[in-house]
Chains A and B, each alone.
Chain A
Amino acid sequence: MTNTSPVPTDALVVGESPTVVELTTHPSVVALQEGFGSAIRSVTRDAVGYPVVWIDPEMIAPVLAFLRDDPGQDYDMLADIMGAHAGVGAPIQVWYQLWSMTHGRQLRISCQVPLEKLELDSVADQWLTANWLEREVWDMFGVTFKDHPDLRRILMPENYEEGFPLRKDFPLRGRFSRSEQVRRSLSRGLEDTYAMEELEMAGHVSAPSFDQSDPSLAEESLSIRDLEATEDVGDVLEGEPMLINMGPQHPSTHGVFRLRVTFDGEEILEVEPIFGYLHRGTEKLAESRNYTQIVTLTDRLDYVSSMINNQAYCLAVEELLGVEVPQRAKYLRTLTAELQRVASHLMGVGFFLQDLGTLGTPLMYSFRLRERILDLFEMLCGARITLSYSRPGGVFFDAPEDFWPALDQFLKDFETDYQEIQQLILENEIVMVRTRGVSVLPLDVAINASVSGPVLRASGLDWDWRKMAPYDAYDRMEFDVPIATGGDNYDRFWVRIQEIHQSIRIVKQCIEQIEPGPTRADVPLVLRPPVGAEAYGRVEASKGELAFYLVSDGGISPYRCKVRSPSLINLTVTEHLLVGWKLADMIVTLGSLDINMGEVDR
């Protein structure tokens, strides 16, 4: 694996006019047509000209294996798997978004799975990412993946029996009226509604090892009396693994997130992340709202970096429509996105140190600066968290006049305040011993699991969509991408600290370069992109690569709006990072991944 920057070498760059690229020049498409000519049903283009290769669903596994292993292709990163349902009775569509690190190419493979035979071959053994993403497709659309190691519900509850929510035949408001839902849940037994494990946690069923009253289980119980009574005390005293559910209510799981951990003493033997507690059906909701209304849904994904979510979504819609955004709006978006990145990273760093056990001092220092940024956002759009500032075609409003002096003042104060934070934490001896060399993420695993953002950059890869495919005004900005090569907790933390400096650099350049002008393109209130248009709007969000995949059916709302959430995909490596480390490291590693449950569960 080379560490060189994977800047696209062919002409397939976002923003290029689609007519420049002839489809047949894409080397992978050519190779696929030669090798798997009979399996290819058609080759189409998305809204900006990326090729989409439609494959026979039976051939998915061989084609993907070829693309991954052939040295001429070498697609080592599976960025996303997306499903869609075009309408009642229509086949399920599944897309695979691939990226080749060595060649700097991307390719989208898709297939239509007929409803009669909802089956695909699993690629979970080839890419770590595929495991959870295939589970999600199964959860939402009911596509079975053959040979998948662990095909269960992922976002919906494990015993959810109402069907597959993102299918078009699944009613938007649920199957029953609210009163009927209440009636059913009251009349059902607890065992029907909750998993055994949940009941155990809630205390409705006693865990076998602690149940003293049940004579059949008494032998297994762990009490002093039993230890004395047991003849072979030595065996018993060796101890047994202890299962702990960290979460969903836990101060350090960054939201409602559960880790099912098996400990041997303090050491972690097994760990399984369980999530979905915050699942609000954003993607289903998006299918019934028009393109402008969806902006407010994106705020609630990663609720500490709403600005970037808005931006990513609006870029996708603009790609669908082919709208050119005015310059001033581009600069405003860039500026606010970078301020938001600073705010998000400050929170990430603050909570990382909180997880390390500081009594809130670095967190409070971080929040002091973040407050100032939220005040600036309040001046821009009246909100502090759920901003909805970017709109398709530009931004909501131009910045008010007193915004600019306030921003200047903030940048002045930032220097001293941020210096204080760095002095407090960056060289701290205890931070060093706790984080250096802990939970190392090797680069090959990182790429195979397609983690992105600071987590990937801390493992040594120069990977930043702001550089690789500049959107908005980033092509006119000068900034560096901080890279660390250790891949440990300290490096992930350090990369964030350094990125804040670069973001402030970009903000300053925006202030210098911005010129008066309109802030919103002339777009209609109700948008109707062309039929069948699809777009993959991608930005470098504070947590990693955030993308909105939109498919239009010509109506006022998309028929599929898929969020490629960096937090979810960065969590893929949890088990790899944690096994063998201690309880205390687990919390810190989770903090260094900087996940946001709003985005994981959607």
Chain B
Amino acid sequence: MSCVLAPDNILHDTQLFRVIYEGVGGVLPCGLSYAVAGIAIMMLLVNGVLLGAGLFSWVERRLIGRFHNRVGPNRWGPFGTLQPLADLVKLIFKEDLTPRGADRILFSIVPVAMLAPVVLVMAVVPFAKDTALANLNVGVLYILAVTSITSIAIFMAGWASDNRYAMFGASRGVAVLISYEVPVVMSLLGVVLVAGSMSLDDVVSAQTVPFLLVQPMAFFVFLAGTSAELNRTPFDLAEAESEIIAGFHIEYSGVKFALIQAAEFGAVLTSSAVMVTLFLSGWSGPISNYLGWAWFLMKIGVLAFIFSWVRATFPRLRIDQLLAFAWKFLLPLSIINLFATALEVYFFRDSAGALDTTDLWIMAGINIPLALGCIFLFGILVRDKPNVLSAGPTKTDVLSVSVQEVS
């Protein structure tokens, strides 16, 4: 008795799933082996993301330690690599507190609701050739839909905690997520236009030239928007430590806190994975396609390092400045990018509607100067009016002249 996956099955392209399914299918009935293979690959995915999150938490703490002129965690395991394990054990044994006024059910759902989108995003990301769990033909749309769950989770946490700091964090978080969703979607439209498909596999194979070069402005907008959606400095308003202590997850402790932290560290990795797929030509590398996963992980590492670097360097923006940055700076940029890309695609595409490598290089040649110019121009436009951003009740005639002149 052997089971063979039908070619029209959505999981047919997933090599790993097919191998498990056909292997187990030799012993078990087909329906059962389908379930076994599904669960196996789900476990692989979930545990992979959690393991990655744990590892990244160590990497980031070591990195930030170096940025701080400190050593960072180095006691437990070689170079402190077992630190995440120690943290996990400690957090599991901590008391799991629920505030008295809290909405207990909502309060308990939140950690899972935070973690779920992080794992779900990885389902469509191909980390090597033919390895995406599901090669959805609307992969980009799926990613956008799934990541929006985070904003609901954040608001649930804020509302259920019965804490005013949590409520502050939740309303800030939702405002930020909704605002940044717009430029992020607009920037992705450019990528989809060039690739001609929403499937992530097709986007990777369309990248004979990395879209980082073809769509530099979209990459910039997506990078800024993503770090805002990840709640990382300089956009970490929802959990601004010095202002609202921990924001929406102020009341969480023990395992729930561990899950939220895992979701946050995991989100950095999955966002990096999405960016690698969309802009850095995914798993394809210059040497060998069989080392796809290695290239993929390497590129994720580079992006994650950039995220850590930014986090250790910048101060936080204020909420109005943050929203102004999204609406006045990122949104115009992404609209310009969309227009330019649409025009280029209209003129360069061949009769079949496809773009070849030469076309992509020409587009890169146009788009890179355009991106630099637009970012520079809008930077000056926004910068020219710093007092609009920081206008307030000044009751004085003492002019705010440049302090450098005064001394």
Q: Are A432 and B406 in contact (CB under 8 A)?
A: no
Residues on the A chain within 8 Å of B315, using CB: 353, 356-358, 428, 430-431, 434
Contact with B along A488-499 (1 / 0, CB 8 A): 101100100010
Q: Is A580 an interface residue (CB 8 A)?
A: yes
With A251-B242, A359-B312, A430-B317 as contacts: A581 and B407 at CB distance below 8 Å:
no
Q: How far is the CA of A438 from the CA of B396 in the complex (A)?
A: 12
With A210-B101, A436-B386 as contacts: A485 and B317 at CB distance below 8 Å:
no
Interface residues in B107-138 by Cβ distance below 8 A to A read none
Q: How far is the CA of A588 from the CA of B232 in the complex (A)?
A: 19
Q: Is A472 an interface residue (CB 8 A)?
A: no
Q: Are A581 and B406 in contact (CB under 8 A)?
A: no
Q: Is A557 an interface residue (CB 8 A)?
A: no
Interface residues in B91-114 by Cβ distance below 8 A to A read 100-101
Q: Is B351 an interface residue (CB 8 A)?
A: no
Q: Are B394 and A361 in contact (CB under 8 A)?
A: no
Interface residues in A480-535 by Cβ distance below 8 A to B read 480, 482-488, 490-491, 494, 498
Q: Is A242 an interface residue (CB 8 A)?
A: yes
Residue of A nearest to B232 (CB): A359
A197 to B: closest C-beta gap in Å = 14
Q: Are A584 and B240 in contact (CB under 8 A)?
A: yes
Q: Is A62 an interface residue (CB 8 A)?
A: no
Residues on the B chain within 8 Å of A490, using CB: 403
Q: Are B233 and A491 in contact (CB under 8 A)?
A: no
With A357-B240, A485-B401, A486-B403 as contacts: A582 and B317 at CB distance below 8 Å:
no
Q: Is B398 an interface residue (CB 8 A)?
A: yes
Q: Is B318 an interface residue (CB 8 A)?
A: yes
Residues on the A chain within 8 Å of B398, using CB: 440, 442-443, 459-460, 485-487
Interface residues in B306-348 by Cβ distance below 8 A to A read 311-321
Q: How far is the CA of A521 from the CA of B232 in the complex (A)?
A: 58
Q: Are A354 and B242 in contact (CB under 8 A)?
A: yes
Residues on the B chain within 8 Å of A407, using CB: none
Q: Is A80 an interface residue (CB 8 A)?
A: no
Q: Are B391 and A437 in contact (CB under 8 A)?
A: yes
Residues on the A chain within 8 Å of B318, using CB: 433-434, 582, 584-585
Interface segment among B3-11, B62-70, B364-372: the answer is B62-70
A576 to B: closest C-beta gap in Å = 8
Q: Is B400 an interface residue (CB 8 A)?
A: yes
Contact with A along B240-272 (1 / 0, CB 8 A): 111111000000000000000000000000000
Contact with B along A460-487 (1 / 0, CB 8 A): 1000000000000000000010111111
Contact among B240, B311, B387, B407 for A482, CB-based, below 8 A: B407
Q: Is A365 an interface residue (CB 8 A)?
A: yes
Contact with A along B379-407 (1 / 0, CB 8 A): 00001001101111111111111010011
A375 to B: closest C-beta gap in Å = 16
Residue of B nearest to A582 (CB): B318
A266 to B: closest C-beta gap in Å = 6
Q: Is A11 an interface residue (CB 8 A)?
A: no
Q: Is A355 an interface residue (CB 8 A)?
A: yes
Q: Are B244 and A583 in contact (CB under 8 A)?
A: yes
Q: Is B201 an interface residue (CB 8 A)?
A: no
Contact with B along A399-441 (1 / 0, CB 8 A): 0000000000000000000000000100011111110111111
Residues on the B chain within 8 Å of A445, using CB: 395-396
Q: How far is the CA of A585 from the CA of B392 in the complex (A)?
A: 11
Say what secondary structure dominates the interface of chain B: loop
Interface residues in B272-331 by Cβ distance below 8 A to A read 311-321
Residue of B nearest to A224 (CB): B159
Residue of B nearest to A1 (CB): B398
Q: Are B64 and A359 in contact (CB under 8 A)?
A: yes
Q: Are A358 and B233 in contact (CB under 8 A)?
A: yes
A531 to B: closest C-beta gap in Å = 48
Residue of A nearest to B324 (CB): A433
Q: Are B242 and A357 in contact (CB under 8 A)?
A: yes
Residues on the A chain within 8 Å of B320, using CB: 582
Q: Are B396 and A440 in contact (CB under 8 A)?
A: yes
Q: Are A483 and B392 in contact (CB under 8 A)?
A: no
Residues on the A chain within 8 Å of B391, using CB: 437
**B162, B165, B394, B397: which has the most chain A beta carbons within 10 Å?**
B394
Q: Is A579 an interface residue (CB 8 A)?
A: yes
Residues on the B chain within 8 Å of A491, using CB: 403
Residues on the A chain within 8 Å of B387, using CB: 436-437
Residues on the A chain within 8 Å of B403, using CB: 484-486, 490-491, 494
Size class of the B contact interface (CB-based, 8 Å): 35 or more
Q: Is A78 an interface residue (CB 8 A)?
A: no
B361 to A: closest C-beta gap in Å = 34
Q: Is B90 an interface residue (CB 8 A)?
A: no
Q: Are A357 and B386 in contact (CB under 8 A)?
A: no
Contact with B along A213-245 (1 / 0, CB 8 A): 000000000000000000000000000001010
Q: Are B407 and A485 in contact (CB under 8 A)?
A: no
Q: How far is the CA of A581 from the CA of B407 in the complex (A)?
A: 28
A223 to B: closest C-beta gap in Å = 10
Interface residues in A386-405 by Cβ distance below 8 A to B read none
Q: Are B400 and A436 in contact (CB under 8 A)?
A: yes
Interface residues in B135-171 by Cβ distance below 8 A to A read 162, 164-165, 168
Q: Is A189 an interface residue (CB 8 A)?
A: no
Q: Is A252 an interface residue (CB 8 A)?
A: yes
Q: Is A137 an interface residue (CB 8 A)?
A: no
Q: Are B233 and A357 in contact (CB under 8 A)?
A: yes
Q: Are A587 and B68 in contact (CB under 8 A)?
A: no
Residues on the B chain within 8 Å of A584, using CB: 237, 240, 243, 316, 318-319
A238 to B: closest C-beta gap in Å = 16
Q: How far is the CA of A218 from the CA of B316 in the complex (A)?
A: 40
Q: Is A203 an interface residue (CB 8 A)?
A: yes
Contact among B164, B233, B311, B400 for A244, CB-based, below 8 A: B164
Residue of B nearest to A362 (CB): B315
Q: Are B394 and A437 in contact (CB under 8 A)?
A: yes
Q: How far is the CA of A100 from the CA of B75 in the complex (A)?
A: 61
A585 to B: closest C-beta gap in Å = 7
B318 to A: closest C-beta gap in Å = 5
Q: Are B69 and A437 in contact (CB under 8 A)?
A: no
Q: Is A360 an interface residue (CB 8 A)?
A: yes
Residue of B nearest to A364 (CB): B68
Q: Are A368 and B319 in contact (CB under 8 A)?
A: no
Residues on the A chain within 8 Å of B313, using CB: 358, 361, 424
Q: Is B54 an interface residue (CB 8 A)?
A: no
Q: Are B314 and A437 in contact (CB under 8 A)?
A: no
With A486-B398, A587-B243 as contacts: A438 and B319 at CB distance below 8 Å:
no
Residues on the A chain within 8 Å of B396, using CB: 440-445, 487
Q: How far is the CA of A484 from the CA of B233 in the complex (A)?
A: 30
Residue of B nearest to A493 (CB): B403
Q: Is B181 an interface residue (CB 8 A)?
A: no
Residue of B nearest to A368 (CB): B69
Residues on the A chain within 8 Å of B395, using CB: 440, 442, 445
Interface residues in A179-218 by Cβ distance below 8 A to B read 203, 206, 210
Residues on the A chain within 8 Å of B383, using CB: 429
A289 to B: closest C-beta gap in Å = 38
Contact with B along A571-602 (1 / 0, CB 8 A): 00000000111111101000000000000000
User: What are the 6 tightest A-B residue pairs by CB atom distance, in nearest-first order?
Assistant: A357-B316, A442-B396, A356-B315, A580-B393, A364-B68, A486-B400
Q: A485-B406, A487-B400, A584-B243 are in contact. List 11 more A-B contacts (CB 8 A).
A: A206-B101, A250-B245, A355-B242, A356-B315, A358-B233, A359-B311, A434-B317, A434-B390, A441-B396, A442-B398, A485-B400
- Can you give 28 contacting A-B residue pairs, CB < 8 Å? A244-B164, A356-B316, A357-B234, A357-B242, A358-B316, A364-B68, A364-B69, A430-B316, A432-B386, A433-B318, A434-B317, A436-B400, A437-B391, A437-B400, A440-B392, A440-B394, A440-B395, A440-B396, A443-B398, A484-B403, A484-B406, A485-B400, A486-B398, A486-B401, A487-B396, A491-B403, A583-B243, A583-B244
State the A residues within 8 Å of B (CB).
203, 206, 210, 242, 244, 250-252, 266, 353-361, 364-365, 368, 424, 428-434, 436-445, 459-460, 480, 482-488, 490-491, 494, 498, 579-585, 587
